Structure formats: structure tokens, C-alpha cells
Amino acid sequence: MTSQLLSIAASGLAASSAALNITAQNIANASTAGYVRETINQSELNTPENTGVTNAMALSGVHVTGVNRDVSTYLQGQVYATGSAAAAADGNVTNLTNVGNAVEQSNVYDSITSFQGALESLGANPTNASLRESVLADAQNMAQSFNLASNSLATAQSGMQTDASGGVTQINQLANNLAQINQQIAIDPNPANNGAGLLDQRDAALTSLSKLTNFNASYAANGTVTVQMGGNSGPNLVSGGTATALASATAANGTISFTLGGTALSITGGSLSADQNGLAAAATATTSLNSIASSLITTVNTAQAAGADLTGATGAAMFSGTTAGNIAVTMTSGNQIATAATGSAAGSQDITNLNAMQSALNTAGIATNTNSLIFTTSSATASATTAQTAQDAISTQAQSQLAAQSGVDLNTEAANLLQYQQAFQASGKVIQAADTMFQQLIGIT
Amino acid sequence: MTTVSTSGFYDSATFNMNTLQKQVDKLQTEIATGNQYASAADNPTATAQMRSLQLQDAIGTADTQNANTASTSLSLADSTLSEVTSTIQQIQTLAQQAASSTLTDTQRASIGTQVGQLYTNLTNLANTQDTNGNPLFGGNASGPAYTLDASGNATYAGSATANTVSLGAGLSVTTGVTGPQVFNFSVGGTATNLLSVVQNLATSLQGGTAGTTPQAAAQAALNQLSAGLTQATTAQTLIGARENWVTTTTNVQSKLTTQRATEESNLGSTDISSAVSQMQQTMVALQAAQASFVKVSGMSLFSMLQ
């Protein structure tokens, strides 16, 4: 009888000790990202078949049946979905800001303004050498601003391409990790062993994946996950122990597209989709900027050819090149600016051709189109910023809901700690009582 | 059981305080720079309008300078024409004397010498240059307005029209008058010009013209000189009218500039008083959030268990 008392108390000690370990684990991981609170499952142990005498004799203590990992896959799904939307929104703001800044901060618009102002000033005194040189200097600034804008756009593009190819590599690594984790979970689905740790690893990998792309995760009864990339109807990235390879291709204009196992793939979330959007915006901005530069070159050079410069000769071309990237000033002296009508004598103060050039610039809409370009890129950034604010709030909300459901609350753990500590002490007392009883029996002589 | 998880509490408190901190930073930047928008993305529509105004400003600044240049040329032309009219009046006085029968031909020849001197003055005035070294009465041409041959005959070498300068807002002004506008006129259906009239008078008074007496030449010149004076005065009136026009457009331009500045300020300048009060409000909220965070985060059951 004493030996039974001892074994019951020993099982109580073991259970309290396991519960204390779980509590300590929870406290230690209170601030670990993605950690799910663990609780202990225990049940009463009866072994009537072994004792077989009376019910009272069947009591055998307590048994730890497993570790419960208390998490809602619905809320996790919400966290992944809103997380990838927020990552896309963050990425969109960064990428579109870079694209917008490339045009806005290279001062293309300001330099066009100065150039047109200088042409207007030249009208008052067309033979003045310093006014002519100032037009030429402003033309040079303008050409360099276009070059700078073009280079900045190219830099932004290559940054996004690097980020995207890094993202593709990361996704493939995560997919392989998930496939391996799936294999291990399939072999050993019992959370009482190291199962909870495997599930934590699985969820951490899915959280990382949600920063890169949107996906749909579905779980089998044994805890393995199937990941469909791009949403509910997307192709499988991970299924069981198999991962499918993701690849990206870069088009001539710098935009990127994705294939999963050779099949075209469309994604709407995560930093990868932000890179795709940003590269599309950069390609559009580059096309617009090149078209403005080309129109500027043609307009000014055509106007030059239609007039006479300070020496009376037909005006030479002011710009060379065809795009924003290669526009350059070829004119070497301000005297070559063709202000006068064709056939005018040397040193003529006629400004017929200058006026024609100015109105041609207005008709071509050089300043207006540049203004529109900046408006388009900045509007895209502004709406991305609005979306970012909303998505961040939604994502934070989803995270705190999940945290409320599955995170660690230190106050609860403190209460548990006391409870299990007291249970441990009580079991200890039972052993002491058994010992006292045993001594009493021994002492009977 | 739904609990508030510890990490969830820290995360959401941080998110809320960050949001307030960002608002305070943005307001602080707005107040410090005086600009409501640091980049175009802060308000694409307003900044696009501001860029349009910026282009108008650049052109407007050039136009204001152009108006000053035009004004300078016009006032120079005005004062030169005053010299021209006073010279014509001196010649008229001399011609009046020479036409009188009380003078001898010797005396007329001496008057002729004086007229010859005044002719030189007139050709110099006709070739006056502006501050940029361009001829005042030569139109668009760069060289002298009148060229003199070996015997002193003046020929107009300038262009038929004078320069027109844009003054902005679709307005423009012709900044000069051409030589023919000042000196050419017709008497009794015959086109002539002041310079040749004066030169002929000088030659005739010195007895150098066949078929006419110096006295008759002087009498004949009186009508022509009178018509020449009218022509020069008309040109001066024209210049005066243009000077007024430049003043008017300068006023228009400066009103437009003020208007643009007001519009730019309405579009993009920080309303300091409202920004400061908004910042004060946000800072109170931030301080409250920080103070409550410290109090709430200190409330742990662990700290009670001793």
C-alpha cells in the first residue's frame, strides 16, 4: 500500500515537474516572434487490470498525455495574408518613392523652367553674348538633369531586380525547408515528442514566406502543410515532401515575370509583387522621360535649323542623342543659337526664330509633360502610402488577435508557476507521509 | 480563453506610439521648412499646380527684366528724339533768318556753315546706340542706322521694322522706332527725308546749288523743316505711348507675380498657427501614451510575487 502511495506521488511529481518545464518554456519565449503558448495535457491513470482487486486499488496517479499547442490556423492564415499585403504595401511605397525621386530630385523640371526663362530673357536683347551663354549653360544643365534622371531610374531598377532575385532565392530555400519539415512531421506527428518544435519551425517559415509573396496554406490532419503560391487557386509551391522551383525572368525594359515549375505565375502580395509593380512603374517612367527628351531634342534642333545664328549662318543642332540617357549639348558657343529668321544678316536683332522656338517648345509640351510625369509618379506613391497606412494597421490588428489567442501572457504564467509549484510541494508531502507510514510499520516490534 | 499576450501588448503599444511620433515629426518638418509638402508624393495635385506656377514665375521674372530693358531703350529713344526736335527748331530759326531779304549772301553762307554743323549733329543723333551697343533707330540691324558716303549723304542701313519684346501674359512692346519712322515724310506728295533736306539747305545756303538762290532755297526749306519737325514729334509721341504701355504691363506683371505668390502660399505653405496647435495636441497624446505605457508595463504579477 505504501509503495502505491509512493508511485502515485512520484507520478504527481513528474507531472508537476513537466508542467513547470512548460511554464518556464513559455516564460522564456514570451517575446519570441511566432511562438505559440504551450499547455500540458494530463489525465488520471487507472490500472485495474494490473491490480484487479478493488476500484480503490486501481489508482495509479497521473499521466502526461502530451503538450498542447494552442493555435488557430484561421488566425494564422489571416496573419499571413495581411502580412504579405502589408509587405507589398511597404515595398510599393519604397519602390515607387525611388522611382518618383529619380525624376523629381534630378531637377529635370526645374532645369526646363530655367531654360525657358533664359530663352525669354534672350528675347529682350538677342545679340547679348552673356544672355546667349546663359541659354547654353541652362541647356547643358537640362541635358545633365535628363542624364541624371535616366541613371537614377536605372539604379532604382537594378536595385529592385536584385531585391526580386534575392526574394526568389529565399522563397526556394523556404520551400525546401518546408518540404523537409513536412517529411519530419509526417514521420513523427506526436507533439509530446519534439512535434511542437517542428510545428513552430513550420509556422516561422510560413511567416517568412508571407513577407515575400502571398499564398494559401492548407494543413493535413498530421500537421503537414500544402502551400499554394499566389492564393487559393495558385499552383503548389510545397506539397508534402516536395518543393517546386520558382524562377524569374527579366524583360528588355527591365520588368520581371515569374514561373513556378515552368508555368507562368501571378502574385499579388509580398515584397516580390512590390518589386514587380515598382519595375513596371520604372519602365513606364523611363519611356515617358525618353519621349520627353526625344521631343525636346527634335523640337530645339528643328527650330535651330529654321533660323539664322549671330553670324547669319543657318542654326546648328543644339542637342545630340535620342533619349534621356544620351542627350548632350553639341553646341559650343552661345553665338550659334538661331534667334533670327533665315536670311537675316549677321548680328541681327530679329527674334522671329527665337519666338518660333519658344512656341514650338510650348506646343511640344516639354514642361507640361514633365509636370505630368512627376504628377503620375507622385500620385502612385501617394496612393501606395495611403494603402500602406491601412495595410499596416490591418496587419498589426491580425497579429495582435493571433497573439491574444496564442501568445504568452506573463501574468497567466506567473499564476501557473505558483499552481504547479504548490502541486509539486504537495506531491512531496505525500512522499513524506508515505515514508512516515513506512517508518511506523517498521517500528512495530 | 482570450488573454492579452505580453508581446502583443508591447507590439501594439509600440505601433501606437510610433504612429504619434511620426505625426509629430512630420508637423515639425512642416513648421521648420515652411513647406507643407516635402515631396510631390505628399500632395500630387497641389505640387503639380505649384510646378506650373514655378514655370510661370521663371518666365515672369524674365519678362520683368525684359520690361526694364524695353523701358531703358524707350527712354533713351525719347531723350534722343528731344535732341532731334530741338536741333530741327534751331535749323528752322536759322532758315528763317536766311530767308529774310535783309541778309547778304555772305551772311547766308555763314548760316549755311552753321546748318552744316547741325547736320552733322543730326546724323550723329540718328546713329545713337543703346546701352547694348545696338543702333537706336536701326531696327533689327546690328551696324549703324545710317551710313554716310564721301560727300556726306546719309543712307538708311537698318531694317524695316523694329524689335518686339515679349512682356508676358501675351503682351509685347516694340522697343524702338526705325530711322524712316523718325526722319521720312512727304511734302506736297513728294517723299523726302529730314537729313537730305538739311544737307541740301546747308549746301544751297553756301551757294552750292545750281538754279536756285540761297534765299529761295531757305524759303523752300521752311515748309519741309516744319513737316520734318511734325514727323519727329509724332515719333516721340509714339515712343511716349509705348513707355506708358511698358509701365502698364509692368504693373500687370507685378500683380500677377503677387497673385502667383499668394496662390503658391495657399497651395503649399505651412499654416504655422494650425500646425503648431496640431503638434501640441499630438504631443499631449504621445506623452499620455508614453506615461500610460510605463505604468501598465510595470504591472506584472511577477513583481508582486516575493
Say whether residue A94 is in contact with chain B using an 8 A CB cutoff: no
| The three grid cell numbers given for residue B216, joined into one nine-digit string | 529761295
Q: What was the pLDDT predicted at A131?
A: 92
Do A59 and A118 fall within a single domain? Answer: no
Instruction: Categorize the per-residue pLDDT at A132 as very low, low, confident or very high, splitting at 50, 70 and 90.
Output: very high
Best probe of the B interface among A37, A92, A125, by most B CBs < 10 A, is A125
DSSP single-letter state for residue A57: G
Instruction: Name the residue with cell 529713344.
Output: B77
Tell whether A338 and A436 lie within a shared domain.
Answer: no
Provide DSSP, B195-228.
HHHHHHHHHHHTT-STTS-HHHHHHHHHHHHHHH
Q: How far apart are CA A36 and CA A199, in angstroms?
A: 9
More confident residue, A198 or B275: B275
Residue A44 to residue A5: CA distance in whole angstroms: 15
Q: What is the structure's pLDDT at A159?
A: 94
**Residues A120 and A254 reside in one and the same domain:** yes
Residues 6+ apart with CB under 8 A from B162: B139, B140, B174, B175, B176, B177, B178, B181
Q: Lowest-confidence range among A20-34, A38-52, A139-153, B22-36? A: A38-52
Domain ranges of chain B: 53-264
- In this complex, do A125 and B166 lie within 8 Å of one another by their Cβ atoms? no
Mention every residue, 6+ apart, whose C-beta is less than 8 A from residue B118.
B87, B90, B91, B94, B198
Q: Closest chain A residue to B161 measured between Cα atoms?
A: A350
- In this prediction, residue B304 carries a pLDDT of 77
Output the nine-digit C-alpha cell for A376.
503620375
* pTM of structure: 0.81
Looking at the fold, whether A61 and A32 belong to one and the same domain comes out as: yes
Q: Do B143 and A347 touch (CB under 8 A)?
A: yes
B248 close to A (CB below 8 A): no
Please give the backbone phi and psi of residue A41, each rounded to the nearest 5 degrees, phi first. -105, 125
Residue A52 lies in a domain: yes
**Residue A54: per-residue pLDDT:** 52
In a domain, A425, yes or no: yes
Q: Measure the CA–CA gap between A100 and A445, rounded to whole angstroms.
A: 99
* Confidence check: pLDDT of B4 > 80: no
Which of the residue ranges A178-182, A410-414, B82-86, B160-164 would you say has the lowest mean pLDDT?
B160-164
CB-facing half-sphere around the CA of A223: CA atoms within 13 A: 23
Dihedral of the CA atoms A102, A104, A108, A110 (nearest 10)? -160
Instruction: Tell me phi and psi for residue A59, to 5 degrees.
Output: -70, 125
Specify the pLDDT at position A50.
52
Residue with the larger pLDDT of the pair B210 and A242: A242
Give the span between the Cα atoms of A390 and A378, in whole angstroms.
Answer: 19
At residue A55, the pLDDT reads 55
Directed axis angle between helix A366-406 and helix A352-364, to 10°? 30
Q: Does B3 touch chain A (CB under 8 A)?
A: yes
Distances A290 to A69, A96, A113, A283, A303 between C-alpha atoms, Å: 58, 19, 18, 11, 20
Q: Indicate if ipTM > 0.90.
A: no
Which residue bears the cell 513737316? B227
Q: Which of A20-34, A77-91, A300-314 shows the lowest per-residue confidence on average (mean pLDDT)? A: A20-34
- In the prediction, which pLDDT does A326 show? 94
Mean pLDDT of chain B: 87
The stretch B89-101 carries a mean pLDDT of 90
Q: Is A23 helix (H, G, I), strand (E, B) or coil?
A: helix
Q: Which of A158, A162, A131, A138 is nearest to A339 (CA)?
A: A131
pLDDT tens digit string along A53-87? 555 556 788 888 878 787 888 888 999 999 999 99
The answer to whether B88 and B194 have CB atoms below 8 angstroms apart is: yes
pLDDT of residue B165: 83
* All cell numbers assigned to A329: 549639348
pLDDT of residue A418 exceeding 50: yes
Identify whether residues A60 and A135 lie together within a single domain.
Answer: no
Q: Is A141 on the interface with B (CB under 8 A)?
A: no
Closest C-alpha to B199, from B139, B138, B149: B149
Closest CA to A244 of A234, A252, A254: A234
User: Which range marks the domain in which residue A33 is found?
Assistant: 2-70+408-440
A396, A365: one domain: yes
* Region class of B9: left (phi > 0), else alpha (psi between -120 and 50), else beta: alpha
- A257 falls within a domain: yes
B62 shares contact with chain A (CB less than 8 Å): yes
Give the C-alpha separation, B283 to B279, whole Å. 6
The whole-number pLDDT of residue B1 equals 46
Cβ <8 Å between B5 and A403: yes
Q: Nearest CA of chain B to the CA of A29: how many Å? A: 10
Spatial contact of B225 and B88, defined as CB atoms under 8 Å apart: yes
Number of domains forming the structure of chain A:
2
CB contact under 8 A, B6 and A407: yes
Instruction: Please tell me if residue B49 touches chain A, with a CB cutoff of 8 Å.
Output: no
Amino acid in position B286: L
Q: Is A28 on the interface with B (CB under 8 A)?
A: no
Res B105: pLDDT = 85
d(CA A124, CA A101): 36
Select the more confidently predicted residue: B60 or A197: B60
Whole-number pLDDT of residue A49: 55
The band of A98, judged by pLDDT with boundaries at 50, 70 and 90, is very high
- What is the number of other CB atoms lying within 10 angstroms of the CB of residue A389? 13
Reference A292, options A149, A123, A84; nearest CA is: A149
A340 with A425, same domain? no
CB A258 within 8 A of CB A272: yes
- Residue A97: which of B41, B301, B302 has the nearest Cβ? B41
> At A338, is the secondary structure helix, strand, or coil?
coil
The sign of the CA dihedral A383, A388, A394, A397 is negative
Report the DSSP pairing between strands A328-329 and A340-341. Answer: unpaired
Give yes or no for A114 touching B (CB within 8 A). yes
* Axis crossing angle, helix B194-205 with helix B44-99, rounded to the nearest 10: 20
Task: Report CB contact under 8 Å: B11, A37.
Answer: no
Over range A216-240, report the average pLDDT: 89
Asked if pLDDT for residue B66 goes beyond 80, the answer is yes
DSSP-H helix ranges across chain B: 6-33, 44-99, 105-126, 179-183, 194-205, 214-268, 272-297, 301-304
**Are B7 and A408 in contact (CB < 8 Å)?**
yes
Residues A18 and A61 in one domain: yes
Helix-, strand-, coil-residue percentages of chain A, each rounded to 5? 65, 15, 20
Pair (A355, A276) in one structural domain: yes
pLDDT in tens, A175-227: 999 999 999 888 876 655 556 778 888 988 999 999 999 999 999 888 889 99
User: Does residue A130 sit at the B interface (CB-CB below 8 Å)?
Assistant: no
Runs of H (alpha helix) within A242-320: 270-305
* CB proximity B306 to A under 8 Å: no
A344 CB contacts (<8 Å, ≥6 apart)?
A: A308, A312, A350, B140
CA neighbours within 13 Å on the CB side: how many for B150? 0
Whole-number pLDDT of residue A190: 63
pLDDT digits (tens, 9 = 90+) for B141-162: 878 889 888 888 888 988 888 8
Mean pLDDT to the nearest integer, B274-303:
89
Q: Domain B53-264 falls in which CATH fold?
A: f41 fragment of flagellin, N-terminal domain (1.20.1330)
pLDDT digits (tens, 9 = 90+) for A242-290: 999 999 999 999 999 999 998 999 999 999 999 999 999 999 999 999 9
Percent of chain B past pLDDT 90, that is, above it, reads: 29
Kindly state whether residues A49 and A163 are assigned to the same domain: no
Among the listed residues B176, B172, B108, B164, the one whose alpha carbon sits nearest the alpha carbon of residue B136: B176
pLDDT of residue A191: 55
Indicate if A256 and A362 belong to the same structural domain. yes
* Closest Cβ–Cβ partner in B40, B48, B63 for A100: B40
B107, burial (CB in 10 Å: exposed 0-12, middle 13-18, buried 19+) = middle
Banded pLDDT at A401 (limits 50, 70, 90): confident
Task: Check B165 against A123: CB less than 8 A apart.
Answer: yes
Say if A249 is an interface residue toward chain B (CB within 8 Å).
no
Give the Cβ contact number of residue A314 at 10 Å: 13
The residues in A 200-239 lying below 8 A from B, measured between CB atoms, are none
Same domain for A7 and A41, yes or no, is: yes
Mean pLDDT score across all residues of chain A:
89
Q: If you write DSSP's letter for every residue of A83-138 in order, what string do you get? A: HHHHHHHHHHHHHHHHHHHHHHTTTHHHHHHHHHHHHHHHHH-TT-HHHHHHHHHH
Task: Provide the pLDDT for residue A44.
Answer: 87
Question: Hey, is A256 helix, strand or coil?
Answer: strand
